[in-house]
């Protein structure tokens, strides 16, 4: 074959390849990904376990692509998930719900709303604060805490609670540490000289009448900070700082900041593309996180589907504030005189929850 014929033959091959260059590139990309996955699976047991979990069954996979509206229990298309944070064994007020946050998932508009419920709200039906509802329920019977806290929140929002999820402080710390900590912007500097030390609830402090050995001083400076699990927990729980930062309303806002920061870390590529971290999170969740009822694979998949669609649409969780407000913008709550109930509490400004319930339904029905 002459040199000229060789050049013509090569040019012919190039023309044919050019017609299929897109398909060729796609094929090479897919082949590279498959080879990479196979290599990982061959040398890494955690990675192999992760992929087996992801593709473990067509039932789970098919449910993931179904509409959550037809999979999850809901009320007029709203699925309410109540999150409880409790001290747990070795912490002050082990069965008092230190944190109560309601997530309302609008399955029709694929939007989500977060409501922090102040722990000092008075609940007439139990003649006590709402943070004691779980404790009183458990005194009556094991598992009764979930039912009583559901009823208490129902009085506020006039809607059923479909899931109650509880987590203790130790698990909170571990989850934050697994994801490598969180970045949080501290809006106001504050110091709390009475933060409880775990395990010292009953320490007699050598006769000190103020029991100061049971507490430590914590401080936070204004600005962006990277927090590990223990620091994030202190930032969330602190309630004895001077000024506005010592109120439950400020604490609720700090808790929402931490939750948003955790969410940002979990959906980041360093976590989602790290099978080892995902497995650690799964193990921590199964170890510490408790549901009030058995949740089926279909329901878990429905929640996953909702979350996937939510973040794919680049939506943000909206917050609803339940507080006393000020003279210019009065909130839905008031602080009655202590003599009324014998303790410092919060109750609805208008005597009942009807105005807030109307406001709440309007907010959670909107698309964001």
The region, left, alpha or beta by phi > 0 then psi within -120 to 50, assigned to residue 86 is beta
- The percent of residues in the chain predicted with pLDDT above 70, rounded, is 79
The domain ranges of the chain are 3-64, 68-365
Share of the chain above pLDDT 90, in %: 32
Tens-place pLDDT, residues 243-270: 888 888 888 888 888 888 887 888 777 8
Which of 28-32, 63-67, 82-86, 331-335 comes out lowest in average pLDDT?
Answer: 28-32
Please check whether residue 169 is in contact with residue 91, taking contact to mean a CB–CB distance below 8 angstroms. Answer: yes
Q: What is the pLDDT of residues 218-229, one digit of tens each?
A: 999 999 999 999
Mean of pLDDT over the chain: 79
Q: Give CA angle at 337 (331, 341), nearest 5°.
A: 105
This prediction has a pTM of 0.70
Q: Higher confidence at residue 289 or residue 73?
A: 73
Inform me whether the pLDDT recorded for 291 exceeds 80.
yes
Nearest to 87 by CA among 274, 223, 236, 279: 236
Classify residue 100 by burial, with Cβ atoms within 10 Å: 0-12, 13-18, 19+: buried
Considering only residues 122 and 292, tell me which one the structure prediction assigns the higher pLDDT. Answer: 122
Please compute the mean of the pLDDT values over residues 144-168 and round it to a whole number. Answer: 92
CATH class of 68-365: alpha beta
């Amino acid at each position: 074959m002459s040199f000229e014929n060789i050049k013509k033959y090569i040019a012919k091959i190039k023309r044919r390849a050019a017609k299929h260059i897109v398909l060729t590139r796609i094929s090479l990309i897919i082949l590279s990904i498959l080879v990479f996955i196979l290599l990982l699976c061959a040398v890494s047991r955690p990675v192999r376990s992760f992929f087996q979990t992801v593709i473990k069954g067509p039932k789970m996979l098919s449910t993931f692509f179904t509409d959550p509206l037809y999979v999850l229990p809901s009320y007029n298309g709203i699925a309410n998930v109540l999150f409880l944070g409790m001290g747990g064994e070795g912490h002050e007020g082990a069965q008092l719900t230190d944190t109560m946050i309601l997530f309302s998932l609008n399955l029709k508009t694929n939007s989500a709303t977060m409501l922090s419920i102040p722990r000092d709200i008075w609940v007439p039906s139990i003649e006590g604060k709402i943070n004691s509802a779980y404790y009183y329920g458990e005194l009556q019977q094991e598992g009764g805490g979930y039912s009583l806290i559901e009823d208490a929140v129902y009085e506020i929002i006039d809607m059923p609670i479909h899931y109650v999820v509880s987590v203790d402080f130790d698990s909170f710390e571990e989850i934050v540490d697994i994801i490598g900590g969180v970045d949080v912007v501290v809006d106001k500097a504050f110091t709390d000289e009475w933060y409880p030390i775990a395990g010292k609830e009953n320490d007699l402090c050598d006769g000190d009448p103020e029991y100061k050995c049971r507490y430590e001083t914590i401080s936070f400076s204004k600005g962006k900070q990277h927090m590990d699990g223990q620091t994030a927990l202190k930032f969330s729980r602190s309630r004895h700082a001077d000024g506005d930062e010592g109120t439950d309303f400020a604490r609720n806002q700090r808790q929402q900041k931490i939750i948003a920061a955790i969410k940002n870390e979990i959906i980041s590529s360093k976590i989602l593309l790290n099978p080892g971290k995902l497995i650690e999170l799964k193990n921590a969740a199964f170890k510490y996180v408790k549901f009030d009822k058995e949740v089926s694979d279909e329901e878990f998949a429905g929640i996953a589907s909702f979350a996937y669609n939510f973040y794919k649409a680049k939506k943000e969780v909206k917050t609803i504030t339940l507080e006393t407000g000020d003279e210019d913008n009065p909130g839905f709550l008031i602080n009655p005189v202590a003599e009324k109930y014998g303790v410092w509490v919060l109750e609805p400004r208008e005597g009942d929850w009807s105005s807030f319930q109307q406001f709440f339904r309007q907010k959670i029905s909107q698309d964001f």
